[in-house]
Amino acid sequence: MSDIQTINGDSPFDAIKRVREDGSEYWSARELADAMRYDQWRNFATAIERARLTLGNQGHQPETHIAGASKMVDLGSGAQRAVDDHHLTRFGAYLTVMNGDPRKPEVAAAQAYFAIRTHEAESRPALPDITTPDGLLALTQMFSDTAKQLVAEQSKSKVLEAAIERSAPLVAKAEAHTGSDSDVHRQEFAREVQAWGVKQNVDIKQSEVLRFLGHIGLFIRGERSDTGHATADAQRRGFAFTHKDVARNGYAYATGKLTPAGQDYAWKRITKYVGDHGTLELPRELRGGDPA
């Protein structure tokens, strides 16, 4: 008998949730990718790897939430073969879908689903020890409180869904660039931020973007010969670098570029700043005399 039980529900992500005999739940990364309409596994694998990095940066053991596994798939001729898979905890799945491409409606739906369900799971109190009289009394009180709060919790879920929908334009653009696998020139990045600002009805100038990239420590600013080069700290963190080359006319030049990780970091800082201030313009005292 299989140790896996498929749980059906209203959401397609509930439908593919698996529960082991010990009660622990997980999602197959392959099935989750299918539900999110990913045609290429390698694209979804990129989101998994970024979720793994996030777990490590937060002090978690990545293998606890993203466990290596395999899955048998049909080849169309009646034969099967094993392919790489991962078993994701709810938190592992949450981080993975947040690193997906939110321009896909199915990915945006997955982000809303796991954000809400993870919030609900974190808010749920631990069950008391029912082997003691005090524990039984506490459990009885919990059931009573749960009954009273059921309607309120449903309202909270609707409020949370509305909050996610309101913040989606900012989160979506940031997460779209989390999937980028190429380095970009800082001016090219600035143009992308400008285009995003138009969609948000926020007037953003290229000079403001370049100044902001300097403000958050990615590129050197001020009246210097190396203005626009990547800072030592940004290079150490793998966020930016200075590309040096020689043009056809023999002129040596250097340009600052953002790595995919640097784009992630910049987008998160930019969307938060715009969300808090409604603009990307820095106060005069934070500009550091940088003409960008």
Q: What is the separation, in whole angstroms, between the first and last Cα of the chain?
A: 65
Question: Which comes out higher in pLDDT, residue 65 or 150?
Answer: 65
Alpha carbon distance 67, 87 (integer Å): 5
User: What's the rounded mean pLDDT across residues 64-71?
Assistant: 89
Confidence of residue 7 (pLDDT cuts 50, 70, 90): very low
Query: Are 143 and 164 part of one and the same domain?
Result: yes
Structural domain that includes position 265: 184-286
Output the six-digit token pair for 40. 């290429």
pLDDT of res. 79: 75
Output the six-digit token pair for 281. 């313009």
Query: Are 142 and 267 part of one and the same domain?
Result: no
Query: Are 74 and 216 part of one and the same domain?
Result: no
Alpha carbon distance 236, 217 (integer Å): 12
The answer to whether residue 117 sits within a structural domain is: yes
Domain boundary (171, 199, 216) is at 171
Alpha carbon distance 166, 136 (integer Å): 42
Domain boundary (138, 171, 204) is at 171
Query: Are 163 and 195 part of one and the same domain?
Result: no
**Each residue's pLDDT tens digit, 264-287:** 889 989 988 988 889 999 987 565
Q: pTM of whole model > 0.75? A: no
Q: Are 197 and 280 in contact (CB under 8 A)?
A: yes
Query: Are 60 and 153 part of one and the same domain?
Result: yes
Query: Are 57 and 193 part of one and the same domain?
Result: no
Alpha carbon distance 105, 112 (integer Å): 11
- Of the chain, the percentage scoring pLDDT greater than 70 comes to 71
Output the six-digit token pair for 240. 């930016």
Domain boundary (110, 139, 171) is at 171
Query: Are 280 and 226 part of one and the same domain?
Result: yes
Query: Are 141 and 50 part of one and the same domain?
Result: yes
How many domains, in total, are found in the chain? 2
Query: Are 167 and 213 part of one and the same domain?
Result: no
The answer to whether residue 177 sits within a structural domain is: no
Query: Are 155 and 189 part of one and the same domain?
Result: no
Query: Are 22 and 96 part of one and the same domain?
Result: yes
The answer to whether residue 292 sits within a structural domain is: no
**Each residue's pLDDT tens digit, 205-246:** 999 999 999 999 999 988 888 889 999 999 999 999 999 888
User: What's the rounded mean pLDDT across residues 245-265?
Assistant: 86
**Each residue's pLDDT tens digit, 143-187:** 555 545 554 555 555 555 555 455 554 554 555 555 556 888 999
Mean pLDDT of all residues in the chain? 78
pLDDT of 47 strictly over 70:
yes
Query: Are 22 and 107 part of one and the same domain?
Result: yes
Question: Which comes out higher in pLDDT, residue 135 or 127?
Answer: 135
